Structure 1
């Protein structure tokens, strides 16, 4: 009787171990990449996107930025799109989120397997013409923790 349950017990242990390892690998698959290094993994294939902009709201006409985090999934579609930072406080967060949600990507030559990557994109609103002022505005929305 004991020998009959031994293969069942070993199979169950193997299944549990494989499930645990798959969970660990899935968590590690989408590593964080700085937005300027995303091209090494994914190339945006639709440079013009539509966004849902509000008609009225707080600080719509002020210069500002939104840092939008997301994961480029294995199919090139953004997943878990969220506004992580909005400077200054305004009602433009949903517009930034909708723009990034409409991005589409193709894998780069060094990412033929389509490895998911977590990153962020800085959406700039009413940007000043001066490059130094524009960069200062974008720096306000820089997020830490993304490897260059």
Structure 2
């Protein structure tokens, strides 16, 4: 086989396998993320627009992302915002500044997909916070 044709065939095979590799990324529920990665930030900077819509009421926003082998969030996507407004933009700003260190069981720094739900104007009690955050829970993430 011609070397150029061989290279093209190899590239086509690799490209065909990339979606399968992306789908095999471990999707971890936020409550079990500590088994893979540990958030090391004590504080994060957040950008809040001067004219943010709907931020005076209780709500939530969920941002999905992948933690890369270097502990930095990648491929951020706002998945849910309740109620509609600018909570998503603010939540994405916070999550983009997260930094993680690998847990003791993640010695290879294996990337994982996860999500984070940011509550806004939630009551201080845990039950009230859960009520505000419940509409933003994402499915499909394993414990």
TM-score, normalisation: structure 1: 0.83
Residues 1:108 and 1:22: Cα distance change in structure 2 (over 3 Å): farther
Residues 1:12 and 1:50: Cα distance change in structure 2 (over 3 Å): closer
**TM-superposition CA deviations, 1:50-107 (whole Å, max 9, x none):** 0101222321111111011000011111001111000111112111101000001111
Q: Does 1:73 align with 2:68?
A: yes
Residues 1:112 and 1:126: Cα distance change in structure 2 (over 3 Å): same
Indicate the SS of the match to 2:129.
helix
- Provide the C-alpha distance between the structure 2 equivalents of 1:52 and 1:105, rounded to a whole number of angstroms: 20
User: How many aligned positions are there?
Assistant: 143
Aligned to 2:58: 63
**TM-superposition CA deviations, 1:9-58 (whole Å, max 9, x none):** xx769946973696367325522110011111111111310010122232
State the shift of 1:140 in Å: 1.3
How do 1:1-148 and structure 2 match up within 5 A?
15=10, 19=14, 23=18, 26-148=21-143
- Gaps of at least 5 residues in structure 1 are none
Larger radius of gyration: 1
- Gaps of at least 5 residues in structure 2 are none
- Provide the C-alpha distance between the structure 2 equivalents of 1:56 and 1:17, rounded to a whole number of angstroms: 48
- Provide the C-alpha distance between the structure 2 equivalents of 1:134 and 1:13, rounded to a whole number of angstroms: 54
Runs of 4+ in 1 over 4 A off after TM superposition: 11-18
Residues 1:24 and 1:63: Cα distance change in structure 2 (over 3 Å): closer
Alignment RMSD = 2.5
